[in-house]
Structure 1
Amino acid sequence: MRTRLQRLFFFVDYLSLRQVMEIGAITPEIISEYVISISPNHEKSITAILTTLRVFLRFLYLHGYIEIDLSLSVPKQNKYSYPSVPSTWESDEVKRMLDAIDRGGPLGKRDYAILLLVAKLGIRAGDIKALKLSDLNWTSKTITITQEKTKVEVTYPILHDVGWALIDYLQHARPVCDAPFLFVRLNAPFEAFGENANLHNIITKYTRLAGITVPRGKRHGLHSLRHSLASTLLEQGASLAVISEILGHVDSKSTSVYLHTDMKGLMACALDPEEVLLGV
């Protein structure tokens, strides 16, 4: 709602510049001219702004504030959407980042365990925040959760290094508290991470400490570690079905985008123009 209000302010400001002070004075012509005014924006931004405007005008019509459904005057973008190539890390970059963590204190122990869960198991940030102590099964060495995004139950193996990182955190870093969650804040009150916490600051901190330079425009959040895991598995010969199961994708189409990151595989599929011309 907050994001949509911010987008709607663009339209309200435009109406103010046009000295349109009443809702009833909005016309299809004004909407058309407004659309032209936002055309320099990025394609995705334009789509979001127009969607918000369409919903707002539809609301006005359904509640009797305007007599004509002006939402029909808002154009729709008929363009194909191609998923971007996922941002990934090189294996040595992931190792350098993990090695940059000072695991001598509680903060380092907690952050190291969190980053390992993403880098080695591909668990989403939201699911890591929601992890509970009861989700850990030390007898079977597994972690079983219901994914926040897909609502599907997934079981992950507690790998050797992941297990020891969790044990180190639980024994020497996690505060004694009544919170059921695995990861909690280290300052009182000891409670779970906030709903809007994306844990982005954790990976940013250790990226800088490791001296890793992130190219402009490249995403380097926790999600990029999931991308790196998928790309590594693909290079090692894992099938898309296996990678999809590991990452918790409901649709394998979501996983197929990682084919674009396997440069060696793509080069092997490339045709030799001379062979084609010679009919070899």
Structure 2
Amino acid sequence: MVFANLASEIHMPAVSKKSKIPSVWTTEELQELLHAVDRSSPIGKRDYAMILMACILGLRVSDIKNLRFGNFDWSNKKISMIQHKTHKPLSLPIPDAVGWAVIDYIKNGRPKYYDTDVVFIKHMPPFDPLSDNDHLVNRIICHMRKAGIRRDKDRHSGFHSLRHCAGSMLLEMETPLPVITSIMGHSDTDVTGIYLKTDLKKLSECVLAPPVNAYG
């Protein structure tokens, strides 16, 4: 049968049916969140730069927290690292908005502490690097409250939800899935496949029109 033959040729990403649709922010919500961050304060400068790295570059919070000065190649506007989760190398261009936010934090917000070359650190003595166990959810919730963004119990509110925004926006821009996989630092395209659940328009385009007289 025609449908059976077509179905056998379609690769199905290994995504569990129980996998939840990733929480995705609207453009308006992201703008409201960013506008709510007090960029005149040192901690605000830090949070703003970290949020941009999550929602624009799609970096995991673990990778953001582990960034060191040596990961930034300012001359070529690139950032390179070994990912904390996958232990695989990742290199991405630094958009101007992200670059200037990081520079502003380093020059005007980061405590003058020289015992560590970790970029994003705590702002209370002894100014240690951010804890591996701290996913900084409370920082996002704090800015959500200031922005008046409702936090539903079924909605993710951490940095990982901002990372999902980067993946979804790339999908909306019709970026090929293998490219999204590379940018997001996923192990393979099947992992990236979960982002397809966030774009109903793209899903609808995948529906095949039945051949004429298919049921005849």
Q: TM-score range by the shorter chain?
A: 0.7 to 0.9
- Cα distance in 2 for residues equivalent to 1:278 and 1:159: 50
Q: Secondary structure at the match of 1:244?
A: helix
Aligned counterparts, 1:221-240, within 5 A: 221-240=158-177
Q: Deviations over 1:51-110 (max 9, x none)?
A: xxxxxxxxxxxxxxxxxxxxxxxxxxxxx7632211111111111101111101111111
Task: Tell me the equivalent position of 1:125.
Answer: 61
Cα deviation code 1:163-185 (max 9, x no counterpart)? 11011101111111121100111
**1:201 matched to 2:138:** yes
* Distance in structure 1 (CA, Å) of the matches to 2:38 and 2:153: 27
Q: How does 1:36-51 map to 2 (within 5 A)?
A: none
| SS of match in other structure, 2:56 | helix
> 1:216 Cα deviation (Å)?
2.7
Give the direction of change, closer, same or farther, for the CA distance of 1:199–1:276 in structure 2 (3 Å limit).
Answer: farther
Structure 1 unaligned residues grouped into runs of 5+: 1-79
Is the contact made by 2:55 and 2:164 (CA closer than 8 Å) also made in structure 1?
no
Number of aligned residue pairs: 200
In the alignment, the residues of structure 2 paired with residue 197 and residue 220 of structure 1 have an alpha-carbon distance, to the nearest angstrom, of 14
Which of 1 and 2 has higher RCO (CA within 8 Å, sep 6+)? Answer: 2
Measure the CA separation in 2 of the matches of 1:102 and 1:276.
60
Partner of 1:138: 74
Within the candidate set 27, 32, 41, 1:91 is matched to 27
Equivalent position amino acid for 2:178 in 1: A
Q: Which residue of structure 2 lines up, in the alignment, with residue 14 of structure 1?
A: none
Q: How does 1:124-203 map to 2 (within 5 A)?
A: 124-178=60-114, 179-203=116-140
Q: Distance in 1 between matches of 2:36 and 2:68?
A: 27
Q: 1:85 to 1:181 in 2, by over 3 A?
A: same
For residue 220 of structure 1, the aligned residue among 140, 157, 168 is: 157
Alpha-carbon offset, residue 223 of structure 1: 0.4
Taking structure 1 as the reference length, what is the TM-score of the superposition?
Answer: 0.67
Counterpart secondary structure, 1:131: coil
Task: Give the AA of the match of 1:150.
Answer: T
Seen in structure 2, the aligned counterparts of structure 1 residues 277 and 199 have a Cα distance that, compared at 3 Å, is farther
Distance 2:127 2:23 in 1: 34
Greater helix share, structure number: 1
Q: Label 1:238 to 1:196 Cα distance change in 2 as closer, same or farther (>3 A).
A: same
Cα displacement (A) at 1:276: 7.9
* Cα deviation code 1:182-240 (max 9, x no counterpart): 01111111120122111111111111111111333121211011111111111110111
Could you tell me how far 1:277 is from its partner in structure 2? 8.5
TM-score, normalising length: structure 2: 0.86
Please list every run of 5 or more consecutive structure 2 residues that lacks an aligned counterpart in the other structure.
1-15
Specify the code of the residue in structure 2 equivalent to 1:216.
K
Residue in 1 that maps onto 2:192? 255
